[in-house]
Structure 1
Amino acid sequence: MDASQTQLPPPTNWQDFEFLCHLLWRDIWQDPAAKKNGRSGQKDFGVDVYGCPQGGSEYAGVQCKGKENIADKNLTEKQLRDEIKKSEEFEPKLTSFILATSGQRDAKLQKVARSIDQERKKKGLFSVDIFFWEDIREALGLRVHLCKQLYPQFFSEETPFRPATKWNLDYFQNPSFTGRINELAELRRALEGDRRAAVTQAIHGQGGVGKTQLAIEYA
């Protein structure tokens, strides 16, 4: 199983989210010297993690919006523009700026970011991109060593690329799953009991409401 297919949950506090981003972009940039910027309470000029990608001499920066955006809160256009403005004060000047958020992917905001990026490139300013949690999760999925470090509860020592024993699904259980008591009870009534024939059950609803996680929780 490719680790990129797992449903890794976002951190539940900004400190863990920043720690995750530091490890991830240090690996993406291939820069072991990539660092967190300052300490809590100090002015960070819109940059939480900085480094020099691929052994170069120019700096890239990441702002970790998990501080205000943990799990169920989404990024806004105003936040994006505010963080870009702050990061323009970072020294030395950046050539690339990424806003990493634990919020859900938003096509409208992606369009805004692309437009801002094009405008800035025409003026010779640093590039702009957004990594939503889905993007971060996919990047982590290509780096099993980071998945094992950040989510050890999902891996066993005997089978490091698969969840613990007696689990053959392509997704992992979310340890932060709560609620859905009625829905789980309905699934049990529909699927369990003294039946000789195979029984199937469909879960339907809009995208992003948690159908997959509900099925995994039942499993």
Structure 2
Amino acid sequence: MNQVQIFMPPPANWQDFQTLIADVAKSKYIEDSVQEYGRQGQSQNGVDVYAVDTLEKHIGIQCKETKSSRLKIKNINDEINKAKNFKPALDLFIIATTARIDAGLQSHVNQINSTNTIKFKVQLWFWDDINQFINRSHAVMSSSYKAFQEFFGASEVKNHLGAIRLSFDRNAFTDDFMLERNYQDFEQALVATKAMLKTGFLYDSWSKNLVAQTIPSSMIGDEQYQKFVCKIEASLEAIYQSFLRDVKKEAKSPGHLVERAGHYNIERRKLITVINAKLQEFNLSKINTQYLIS
């Protein structure tokens, strides 16, 4: 099964780490409010990045690049004490670190928050958390990890295309529409395939088991491949909307969908032809349909 997330290495120096955290903050809070606060050697009152959220809460972030040393409870306490003097007064103080998750430090911060002895809440962002933020934001991935994204994407295009093949090599797309036993099954297949193209997850309509898992195409650094996926999505959406309209007509005029079988054979065949052309580029076996069109 393909991985969903890319695990990026932390930045090599504190300057790049601070810029990365500012980019993450822009993706989570009001973008225009985000500032890299002060510079090295100036009094920053524990804050490297400042932001405001949609509730007008003030957020301060301290960046701890810990490659050469580990984050300790004393470091946390010292930074909290500095942040008490920050103006405007903070509602949330975050310590972002390149260190991996540490249960002892988490427990310490949870204890601080439970006592309500300071006016702001405290959070720890470990590298595991930051890595998730990066994966969820295409903008952050592109700005801070573009080369890494492109390298990863080159190896993942084939995996993603394989998932597309699984999605379309099913009876709902390969059998003659005249043989469709249940029009609800066809609709469910359309919905499941649309979801797979957006999320990377394909579930079996009957068992609800996960059939295929890949990364969303937006995380692949291949512009031409993303255009291909957009074309597939547009064609699939057109079939779906056409089918919804025909279902309404079927309710008033039974037999209408049977009359439309030829249309759906043609449209599905066009779509699969486009997919097969891309499969051929990557030496993947093509999808065979069980119907002919004139």
Give the TM-score of the pair, scaled to structure 1: 0.66
Question: How far apart are 1:33 and its partner, in Å?
Answer: 2.1
User: Who is 2:29 aligned against?
Assistant: 29
Distance 2:48 2:41 in 1: 12
Inter-CA distance 41–111: structure 2 relative to 1 (3 Å threshold): same
RMSD between aligned alpha carbons?
A: 2.6
Amino acid at match of 2:153: P
2:154 aligned to which of 131, 142, 164: 164
Greater Rg by CA: 2
User: Who is 1:199 aligned against?
Assistant: none
For each residue in 1:138-195, what CA deviation from the matched residue of structure 2 results, as whole angstroms up to 9, or x when unmatched? 1111102211211111233xxx9x5224776779xxxxxxxxxxxxxxxxxxxxxxxx
1:144 aligned to which of 131, 138, 148: 138
User: Who is 2:20 aligned against?
Assistant: 20
8 Å CA contact retained: 2:33, 2:50 = no
Give the % identical residues.
32
Distance 1:110 1:143 in 2: 25
Inter-CA distance 168–10: structure 2 relative to 1 (3 Å threshold): farther
1:91 aligned to which of 63, 87, 100: 87
Inter-CA distance 165–19: structure 2 relative to 1 (3 Å threshold): same
User: Who is 1:102 aligned against?
Assistant: 98
Alignment partner of 1:64: what SS? strand
Structure with the bigger RCO (C-alpha within 8 Å, sep 6+) is 1
Q: Which has the higher helix share?
A: 2
User: Who is 1:60 aligned against?
Assistant: 59
The gaps in structure 2 that reach 5 residues or longer are: 160-213, 216-294
User: Who is 2:222 aligned against?
Assistant: none
Inter-CA distance 166–147: structure 2 relative to 1 (3 Å threshold): closer
Inter-CA distance 50–164: structure 2 relative to 1 (3 Å threshold): same
**For residues 58-207 of structure 1, what are the structure 2 equivalents within 5 Å?**
58-66=57-65, 69-70=66-67, 73-120=69-116, 123=117, 125-156=119-150, 163-165=153-155
The number of aligned residues is 161
Give the TM-score of the pair, scaled to structure 2: 0.50
For each residue in 1:44-83, what CA deviation from the matched residue of structure 2 results, as whole angstroms up to 9, or x when unmatched? 00000111112x43311000011xx13x642111100110
Inter-CA distance 7–60: structure 2 relative to 1 (3 Å threshold): same
Question: How far apart are 1:39 and its partner, in Å?
Answer: 1.8
Alignment partner of 1:94: what SS? coil
Distance 1:80 1:25 in 2: 20
Distance 1:58 1:148 in 2: 28
User: Who is 1:175 aligned against?
Assistant: none
8 Å CA contact retained: 2:34, 2:49 = yes
User: Who is 2:42 aligned against?
Assistant: 42
Question: How far apart are 1:119 and its partner, in Å?
Answer: 1.3
The gaps in structure 1 that reach 5 residues or longer are: 172-219
